């Protein structure tokens, strides 16, 4: 009686996380969650234009929901970790697939936002860490004494230091580039990209990123110009 040994399985489909498409989807989903946070955070920050009472009340509200705040923070930190890991691994995978550089580098069908996607992310992360230490924890506050609970005072005194405002504006500009390309890539990663809508979606991604950037940088600019004091 003859027997045929079972051959080991060939060409197994890679796991979701191991696949390129899986990493792109993880980038898209975590990016969408982080984008929602960026928009919500901006809405809260813009209350500075309604005066100290309004902004400080917003700060007290956030502290009053401490039991909910920590799960949200953990979710956001997890999304940041997955987003950066997926981005870095995709960059390394692309580099290994094309180990020999071009003799003449040309940005064909590539925007400046997409070409800076990989290094703008870590810079924005460094900015977020500094921003938290500066205006949330108060460990780094060059503008003078950090007053616990007085969000308005801390924001205004912090942004009165020109280099703090300059670093903030620069980092938010990079965030805008990251968002512009990220929103466009998200449409493609989740499969809703349609060629006939490509121009409209690119314009929408640019407009949304621009509005977010203008909203955020308006605050340090207003402080430096003395419009908010």
Q: Which residue has the tokens 């207003």?
A: 222
Q: Is the pLDDT of residue 56 over 80?
A: yes
Angle value at C-alpha 35, between 33 and 41, nearest 5 degrees: 105
The domain of 33 spans 20-94+110-224
Is 158 among the domain residues? Answer: yes
117: closest CA among 34, 74, 158, 176? 176
81 Cβ contact partners less than 8 Å away, ≥ 6 residues apart: none
46 inside domain: yes
Tokens for 111? Answer: 């925007």
Q: Which one, of 114, 205, 126, lies nearest residue 168 by Cα?
A: 126
- Read off the tokens for 191: 């499969």
pLDDT digits (tens, 9 = 90+) for 94-135: 778 765 555 444 444 445 555 666 667 777 778 888 888 888
Residue 14 counted as domain residue: no
**Is 59 a domain residue?**
yes
Nearest C-alpha neighbor of 40 from the set 58, 67, 54, 57: 58
29 part of a folded domain: yes
User: What's the pLDDT tens digit per position in 67-89?
Assistant: 787 888 889 888 888 888 887 88
Helix axes 151-159, 52-64, angle to 10 degrees: 120
CA-to-CA dists, residue 125 to 35, 83, 128, 194, 219, angstroms? 14, 11, 5, 32, 20
In a domain, 12, yes or no: no
pLDDT at 166: 95
- Cβ-based burial of 156 (10 A; exposed 0-12, middle 13-18, buried ≥19): buried
Residue 5 belongs to a domain:
no
Residue 45 CA to residue 173 CA, distance in Å, equals 17
Query: Does residue 211 fall inside a structural domain?
Result: yes
The predicted-structure confidence for 147-195, as pLDDT tens digits, reads as follows 988 999 999 999 999 999 999 999 999 889 888 888 877 666 555 566 7
**Total domains, the chain:** 1
């Amino acid at each position: 009686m003859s027997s045929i040994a079972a051959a080991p399985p060939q060409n197994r489909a890679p796991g979701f996380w191991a696949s390129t498409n899986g990493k792109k989807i993880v980038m898209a989903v975590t990016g969408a969650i982080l984008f929602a946070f960026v928009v919500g955070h901006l809405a809260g920050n813009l209350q500075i234009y309604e005066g100290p009472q309004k902004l400080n009340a917003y700060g007290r509200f956030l502290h009053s929901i401490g039991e909910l705040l920590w799960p949200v923070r953990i979710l956001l930190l997890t999304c940041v970790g997955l987003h950066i890991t997926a981005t870095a691994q995709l960059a390394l995978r692309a580099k290994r697939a094309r180990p020999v550089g071009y003799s003449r580098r040309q940005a064909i069908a590539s925007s400046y936002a997409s070409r800076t996607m990989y290094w703008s992310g870590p810079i924005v992360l460094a900015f977020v860490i500094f921003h938290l230490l500066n205006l949330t924890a108060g460990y780094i506050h060059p503008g003078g004494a950090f007053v616990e609970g007085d969000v308005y005072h801390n924001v205004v005194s912090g942004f009165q230091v020109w280099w703090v405002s300059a670093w903030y504006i620069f980092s938010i500009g990079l965030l805008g580039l990251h968002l512009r390309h990220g929103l466009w890539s998200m449409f493609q990663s989740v499969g809703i990209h349609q060629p006939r809508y490509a121009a409209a979606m690119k314009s929408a991604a640019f407009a949304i990123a621009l509005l977010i950037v203008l909203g955020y940088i308006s605050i340090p600019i207003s402080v430096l110009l003395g419009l908010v004091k």
